[in-house]
Amino acid sequence: MTDEQERPSDQAAQWNGAGSRGWTAVQDQDLLDDVLKPLEDVLVDAVSGEASGHVLDVGCGTGSTTVAVARRLAETGRCTGIDIAEPMIAAARARAERAGVWTHFIVADAQTYAFAAEDFDMVVSRFGVMFFSDPTRAFANLRRAAKAGARLRCVVWRSMDDNPFMTEAERAAAPLLPDLPIRRPNEPGQFGFADRDRVRGILQESGWSEIDIHPIDVTCAMPQNELERYLTHLGPVGRILPEADEDLRARVISRVRPAFDPYVHGAEVRFDTACWMVGARA
């Protein structure tokens, strides 16, 4: 396994700091891997049905999808992961080493990184492409890196309204945390690709063809006793709470935790995710 590094751009400051904190702790990685496994499976199944050769995993984070794709390809191909967050790539490299899976990781912004031309047989992403400051430029760069005929497969979130579980904590905590960031439509972020027509336009303008964007709805789950850790380590609330004093932290948790009661079913927390499967061809 090898690794490359490029100096992160200023726009990625949060992902090299507080934004990656909840993703890189080993216990949190394990929790997130389990929660998002059904969506990872959807993407990996798409890869195994269409790809061999060299696959690029964009916004690979801590490498769960990269390792899963590499395992599925086995001797028919290899997988490279790219992410702008150095702490996440460090965690991804450690994950691949633990798994005994050969992968290649790049610390860089996929929007601007100088990939070798026509290097990849497939480009994939699970929740890693919604954060580009200039998505048309980013997908044009990925198009140049893809071989003629290469497939693109990305899983992205649909709207906030379609995914209430994902924003429940910040809605409940807002009266106590006035500095929570405001989510705005089409801005880089978790729901930046919620508008299907906008995504189609980005792909067309950046040189992709045979565009197919269809909804996927998957139920995810976690143990009920992991819910508080999930709420306090991840998302906008999870990024603020580590800096809060004990009194504020306790008040936020006591306010936020009951908001998730509708999702608790005995010893399990279950919620529906609403995503797009974005497909195209180079």
Q: What DSSP string describes the chain?
A: -EEEE-PPPGGGGGGGTHHHHHHHSHHHHHHHHHHHHHHHHHHHHHHHHH--EEEEEET-TTSHHHHHHHHHHGGGEEEEEEES-HHHHHHHHHHHHHHT---EEEES-TTT--PPTT-EEEEEEES-STT-SSHHHHHHHHHHHEEEEEEEEEEEE--TTT-HHHHHHHHHHTTT-TTPPPP-TTSSSTTTT--HHHHHHHHHHTT-EEEEEEEEEEEEEEEGGGHHHHHHHSHHHHHHGGGS-HHHHHHHHHHHGGGGGGGEETTEEEEEEEEEEEEEE-
231 within some domain:
no
Q: Which amino acid is at 137?
A: R
| Domain harbouring 75, CATH code | 3.40.50.150
Question: What pLDDT does residue 7 have?
Answer: 41
63 within some domain:
yes
Question: What pLDDT does residue 1 have?
Answer: 47
130 within some domain:
yes
Show the domain range for 23: 2-159+185-218+273-281
Q: pTM of the entire structure?
A: 0.89
Question: What pLDDT does residue 140 have?
Answer: 98
Give yes or no for a contact between 236 and 170, defined as CB atoms under 8 angstroms apart.
yes
44 within some domain:
yes
CA distance to 100, 124, 148, 200, per residue, from 205 (Å): 40, 19, 17, 9
Q: Which residues of the chain are under the pLDDT cut of 50?
A: 1-2, 5-11, 15, 17, 19-20, 22-24, 26
194 within some domain:
yes
Residues 231, 242: Cα–Cα separation, whole Å: 12
The number of distinct structural domains making up the chain is 1
Q: Which residues pair with 107 in a beta bridge?
A: 5, 83
61 within some domain:
yes
13 within some domain:
yes
Take residue 3 and report the two structure tokens written for it.
């690794």
Question: What pLDDT does residue 182 have?
Answer: 85
Phi, psi of 147 (to 5 degrees): -70, 155
Take residue 242 and report the two structure tokens written for it.
């580590």
Residue 241: CB atoms within 10 A of its CB come to: 19
Question: What pLDDT does residue 13 have?
Answer: 56
∠ Cα 1 44 46 (to 5°):
130
Q: Calculate the average pLDDT of the chain.
A: 89
127 within some domain:
yes
